[in-house]
Structure 1
Amino acid sequence: MFIGIDVGTSTVKAAAFDTAGTELAVEARQITLSLDEGVVEQDMDEVYAAVVAVLDALTARLPGPVELAGLTGQGDGVWLVDAAGRPVRAAASWMDGRAHALVDRWLADGTFEAVFRRTGGALFPGSPGPLLAWLDRHEPAALDAASAALCCKDMVFGRLTGAPAGTDVSDASMPFLDPRTRAYDDGVVELLGLTHRRALLAPVGDPISTGEARGEGLPAGTRLANGPYDLPACALGAGVRAPGDGLLIVGTCLASLVATTDLDLSGEPAGLYISTDRPGHRLRAMPAMVGTAALDWVLSTTGVAHEEVDALLAATPPGAHGVRVLPYFAPSGERAPFVEPGLRAELSGVSLESTKGDLIRATCEGIGYAARHCLEAAGLTGSLAVCGGGTRSPAWMRLLADVLGRPLRVVEGEVGARGAVLAAAERYGTALDTARWTRPTAVVEPDPARAAHYTAGYAAHLARLATAREHARDHA
């Protein structure tokens, strides 16, 4: 049996698989996300305790030994640890917006573009560069006390195995890694004013690092591999490897990924190139800030339960009776397929006749338009897989197929955990049938008439977005 561990933004999950890729059991625990006026943080001890708890519960259910385990988790943010691997302060999440003003300044003075032209990564407030620069200005004592600035899975790997601080090429991709050399670009470190903090950047395991569990959560001696982080892990778990093929993750973050062997550092700086364990193969990523989190907010505000979404979508026609949503709900604005830290969500076309169903459908349509924008910018030319919590709604999947105007290969279950196992198996030389492990659970075809309607709706969405971006800049 194999175990995949996925340390998400709001939930920690662990899944067990047999050699054929069948999901045998899953355990999950919610973790706290603290939000306060743009500051978004997580308690590292709580996160680690949740990892141990789900692993204890999962392994107690398994009838036999664990062959190996793979680890993945949320990317970006800053997880400061001391020399013993213990937290220096709360982790700053990838959703954090406190470095908003720094990114604005770098956008204005050319630093933002200079970094993108070197690494292919577009800075956003919750990425490690801006967060480290903010902490250096406002909490230098925290950086002084730290031994390493990690990402989430790296902290967990260190504590499960006792291994020295380290990361992998995928998490290192934003914003300091040169995708050509697969090493940190000290010129980027200097551009962000962090040369004196260079020692905090964790060594890059290339290929991914391995270690043996110390006996917390996993039986002592269990082989464990660290990485890749959740976006590329989901691509592996969904079978997205051929250049041009893509993946849409409808989760807290709305992430669009396209496999590529190209490296184009021209055009509007946005998104990033995620390096993979295969040199020369990358993922062109356009991870929009908010996916299901936008729908969750609307559901909470309107008092609608998740179980009601499919019925409401079925009861409301395409176009939602003129209600429109620009779904940019994140406190730190948007990062893909453009960077606009001051952008905020907009709701329009509402009247006293509008229903809750109109609001729900308009939100789902808006998220679909944002996904189409990201996938086009990422260069999608092949097949498209989709995974994440949004796949639990068949009506939303049909809506997405119509908005995107293409078939969706729906991959359900714990796709990130599955990808973490596949990465671990490859690292340890364990042969698995990848095609069998990554086969879709369903294929959703678009309806031609609705797809034509949404093509016009998408053009109108882009026009409203252009106006909203101008407004955000005018009020920056």
Structure 2
Amino acid sequence: MSRIRVLGVDLGTTALKAVLSDGRRVIGAASAPVPTRRPRPLWSEQAPADWWMALASACKALAARHPGEWRQISGIGLSGHMHGAVLLKDGKPLRPCILHNDGRATAEAKALNAQLPAHAGVAGVRAMAGFTAPKLLWLKAYEPGVLAVADVVLSPKDYLRFRLTGAFATDPVDASGMWLLDVAKRQWCPEIAAACGVALRQLPAIREGNEIVGPLMPVAAKALGLPSGIAVVTGTGDAAANTLGLGLVEEGDGVISLGTAAQIFVSKRAHVPAPAQNIHAFAHALPGLWFQMAAMLNGASPLAWAAELFAPEEKITTLLKQVEKGMARPSRLLFLPYLTGERTPNDDPAMRAAFMGLDASTTRADLLRATLEGIALSLADSYDVLTRSGTVPHVLYAVGGGFKSRLWAGMIASALGRSLSLIPASETGGALGVARLARQALTGEADAAVYTKPARSSVVDPNPTWQARFTDLLPKYRALYQALRPIR
């Protein structure tokens, strides 16, 4: 088994990434873009056919770069963005996929919460507009013909697996993200399905992430240049796939991911719901494992927005050096980073960003620093409700492009009041995570042998002066949000 080769596929919102791997390390990687369409305000959709084209393109590139090892692939693992709604009839999509960042189903999410108030704990969190179930309720109202005739409702990565194997299946993580799962039992919840107008026969079988769903069909093998009949495993949603790539499968293993969006993820050995705090308490990809997650829609993206707006001609690294010069002074500004609404701790897709404290002396560096601090405060706000729910990670890794800045990492450590273990940023963590699922399905190895943790590259400790300032700012940050909520 030392020469085992597997393919890990991670379908992102903007690109599909594929890695050739032995299930422990990345041997080669390729990606292909995926377009998003926004035909109306709040709408966000993708065509499943574009995902298949992206997969074929990435596979073609990998096969060209690694022809010998490409022919040795014996398994495929799949990950993808969660909460999407793909409805099929006779194997063909009935409409474009409604994505996780689509906000059309806000009223339907509120209706589900009102109709099923006790099911927030069952499903792991209150229903939110981005989840699949509210979208299905929206389809029931506005496109009833689509929902009525659909053979199956799939998540995005599960559509790709259907194209590979012809089988309908999903894993507990994507099933949790659909808001249709009894998370503790890892089974579909009949009451939620009925409330959405979905029959249980329209939902795929639930398989653990490291199970083999079926063999690669000849037609798919030909399209991707792979051997026919190789094993295709269930895989998992992207939130869990990234943590598998980091080996975070023990109780209390935690990670902050700071990319376009941000998450604080902690593995658990039991289902521990905290719906009042809008903490996502979902099933994990491996049997007997769950997780809690604070999900924030605005991670590093507000910094990219601010840099483009205030200093489009300069590099972000140059701007950060300007900000660092003023870090000895207390901040005079507050920034709410809600450019695209928010999930944790405030389920508020309509909330928007704001600066407070501007005056005639405010500089560009002041605004950029306030942006950095605002995102750090949003992470602290979510981390606080996570710990108050009873979950304190024993280790907190930090990954993502935002942590390339040591200055920002120090801000975040100070805002949270705890040390962060920085590890090298990886654009292929999710694809490696599901490659590991494929390896385990083929070899039967124990979790500890497959899901190994990376070596820590460095530890960032809180700065006592900054920590005191952030402790003072957090109540003001929360008060500003409450004050601006009525203003849309």
Cα distance in 2, alignment partners of residues 307 and 80 from structure 1: 44
Q: Which amino acid aligns with 2:414?
A: D
Q: Is the 8 A contact 1:320 1:362 kept in 2?
A: no
Secondary structure at 1:39 match in 2: coil
Matched, 1:423 2:437: yes
Cα distance in 1, alignment partners of residues 26 and 322 from structure 2: 31
1:36-91 residue CA offsets vs partner (Å, 9 max, x unmatched):
4111111222222112211211232124233433211111121222322x322111
Q: Which amino acid aligns with 1:99?
A: A
**What residue number does 1:452 align with?**
468
**What residue number does 2:296 align with?**
288
Q: TM-score, normalised by structure 1?
A: 0.88
Q: Is the 8 A contact 1:103 1:341 kept in 2?
A: no
**What residue number does 1:322 align with?**
332
Cα distance in 2, alignment partners of residues 113 and 363 from structure 1: 36
1:140-193 residue CA offsets vs partner (Å, 9 max, x unmatched):
22223432221111111212x132222111100131111222111101223x34
Matched, 1:253 2:261: yes
Q: Aligned in 2, Cα 1:308/1:194: closer, same or farther, shift over 3 Å?
A: farther
Matched, 1:236 2:239: no
Structure 1 position 96, deviation (Å) = 0.5
Q: Aligned in 2, Cα 1:318/1:230: closer, same or farther, shift over 3 Å?
A: farther
Q: Which amino acid aligns with 1:410?
A: L
Secondary structure at 1:95 match in 2: coil
Q: Aligned in 2, Cα 1:424/1:203: closer, same or farther, shift over 3 Å?
A: same
**What residue number does 2:205 align with?**
203
Matched, 1:89 2:104: no
Cα distance in 2, alignment partners of residues 6 and 81 from structure 1: 21
Secondary structure at 1:457 match in 2: helix
What does 1:5-404 align with in structure 2 at a 5 Å threshold?
5-18=9-22, 21-35=24-38, 36-62=40-66, 63-64=68-69, 65-84=72-91, 86-107=92-113, 110-111=114-115, 113-159=117-163, 161-174=164-177, 175-190=179-194, 192-195=195-198, 197-207=199-209, 208-213=211-216, 214-215=220-221, 216-217=223-224, 219-221=226-228, 222-265=230-273, 268=276, 270-304=278-312, 305-306=315-316, 308-317=318-327, 321-330=331-340, 333-378=341-386, 379-404=391-416
1:320-375 residue CA offsets vs partner (Å, 9 max, x unmatched):
84232111222xx3222232243222222233433333333322222222222223
Q: TM-score, normalised by structure 2?
A: 0.86
Cα distance in 1, alignment partners of residues 51 and 378 from structure 2: 30
Q: Aligned in 2, Cα 1:124/1:60: closer, same or farther, shift over 3 Å?
A: same
For structure 1, the 5+ residue unaligned runs are none
Cα distance in 1, alignment partners of residues 329 and 100 from structure 2: 32
1:187-246 residue CA offsets vs partner (Å, 9 max, x unmatched):
1223x3424x44332221235443333323351234332321111111212222222221
Q: Which amino acid aligns with 2:464?
A: P
Q: Aligned in 2, Cα 1:170/1:16: closer, same or farther, shift over 3 Å?
A: same
Secondary structure at 2:153 match in 1: strand
Cα distance in 1, alignment partners of residues 360 and 225 from structure 2: 56
Q: Aligned in 2, Cα 1:258/1:323: closer, same or farther, shift over 3 Å?
A: same
Q: Is the 8 A contact 1:257 1:375 kept in 2?
A: no
Secondary structure at 2:264 match in 1: strand
CA root-mean-square deviation = 2.6
For structure 2, the 5+ residue unaligned runs are none
The number of residue pairs the alignment matches comes to: 463
1:416-470 residue CA offsets vs partner (Å, 9 max, x unmatched):
122112222222235484465633343333323222222222232222233334x
Secondary structure at 2:265 match in 1: strand
Secondary structure at 2:17 match in 1: strand
